[in-house]
Amino acid sequence: MLRCSISKEDLLTPLSLVQGVVDKKTIMSLLKNVYLRTDGDLLILEGTDLERSMRCKIECGVQEEGGVTVSAKQLFEIIREFPSDTIELWEDGDNWLNIEGAENARYKLGCISPEDFPKFRDLSTSNAVTMNGAQLKDMVEKTVYAASINDNDQFGLSGMLVELVKTASGTTLRSVCTNGHRLSLFDQEVEGEAEELSMLIPKKSALEIRRVAEALDGDFVFGKDDKYCFLVNGGTELLIRLMESNFPDYRRIIPDSRKAHAVIPKASFYHALKRVTIVTAEGLDTRGVTARFSEGHLEIQPLQKESGDAMERIPVELDSEEEIYLAFNARYMMEAIGVMDSDQVMFSYSGSNAPCFLWGEDDPGYLAFIMPLRLD
């Protein structure tokens, strides 16, 4: 039966990661649990919601080999608040996991047999690239905001497309998200042996990749194995079931070249949009605003004025004296520029039925577009 000694510091982060993928809403008690087992000098933690699985291997002092499953949420909360730096975990013969410390702290959690716990898939990591945590975080943050919130779409709009793009300079990993009204794209150079890589990752799982990237140091192996995406960092493995939908052909709308019609101070633009939307009619998902570019200024007003009115004027750089007038979803615009590092937003617009393109000099590889709203 399981018996081991482990430090609280070594256990807490892996347990936090594993309990993050556990299905807390399921009626199946086993899927609410974390599987703990000892093997050699390792304590191995596993958790799953059947779409995402996590396995963490931690070196510890093992006295006996065995395995149990217990409530992931309860175990994590106990360990997080535990008063001792060294923790003894041991299973007794009555289906209890004992959790003890040197400071007279003792807890018991009821166990469920791990016999029916879903087995973690064996991985082949040959089709993969190597990335650091900052790259993985950017891959997700700079695109996932544009994904659809509808999980039942048939075109994969609620997912993040990740694919390899071969360029003259090397291997580029591209992430793309769209909901049909806006799109975000991010390219970055990576290293690895992958020859071909194309994955449609559910939005929820993409956010899990970001969470793991933020929690761990060092390089990650990121790739595809059959119908699964994987992320490996030392003894930590995240496995994600990929979506099987057909993502839209986004390439046909990406311009071959870009010309900025306006250069807009990002901070002024963002906060002006935030203030103007205060008086936008409540209950409208679009939070539409109008934008008028003329005489070296951008003038922003609410599109719907039933509940109030506002106007903000921002100095901008324009490439011509021709006036541009359009309307767009303010939230979409704020989210697109909110992930940018550049102080200046490059803005391109070619007509009432054409998308607005956004990029920045300090955001290499990033491109966003937003479809304008109709002006009646």
Note whether 231 and 320 are same-domain residues: no
Q: CA nearest 89: which of 124, 38, 127?
A: 38
Q: How confident is the model at residue 71 (pLDDT cuts 50, 70, 90)?
A: very high
Note whether 99 and 135 are same-domain residues: no
Which domain does 269 fall in, by range?
A: 262-370
Size of the chain, expressed as the number of residues it contains: 376
Q: What is the pLDDT of residue 186?
A: 97
Note whether 53 and 10 are same-domain residues: yes
Note whether 89 and 190 are same-domain residues: no
* Residue 194 CB-half CA count within 13 A: 29
Boundary residue ending a domain (116, 143, 160): 116
pLDDT tens, position by position, 288-325:
999 999 999 999 999 887 778 999 999 999 998 889 99
pLDDT tens, position by position, 268-280:
999 999 999 988 7
pLDDT tens, position by position, 75-99:
999 999 999 999 999 999 889 999 9
* Close Cβ partners of 266 (under 8 Å, ≥ 6 residues apart): 337, 340, 342, 343, 344, 345, 360
CATH of the domain at 315: 3.10.150.10
Note whether 22 and 83 are same-domain residues: yes
pLDDT at 48 over 80: yes
Q: How big is the CA angle at 366 (ends 240 and 125), to the nearest 5 degrees? A: 30
If you average pLDDT over residues 279-288, what whole number do you get?
71
Boundary residue ending a domain (230, 250, 270): 250
| 3-class DSSP assignment, residue 316 | coil
Q: What is the pLDDT of residue 281?
A: 66
Residues 107, 128: Cα–Cα separation, whole Å: 42
Q: What is the pLDDT of residue 153?
A: 66
Note whether 99 and 207 are same-domain residues: no
Boundary residue ending a domain (116, 138, 153): 116
Domain assignment of residue 123, yes or no? no
Note whether 232 and 310 are same-domain residues: no
pLDDT tens, position by position, 341-371:
999 999 998 877 788 999 999 999 999 999 9
Q: Is the pTM of this model over 0.85?
A: yes
Domain assignment of residue 209, yes or no? yes
The dihedral of CA 75, 79, 84, 87: what is its sign? Answer: positive
Note whether 338 and 298 are same-domain residues: yes
* Residue 109 CB-half CA count within 13 A: 24
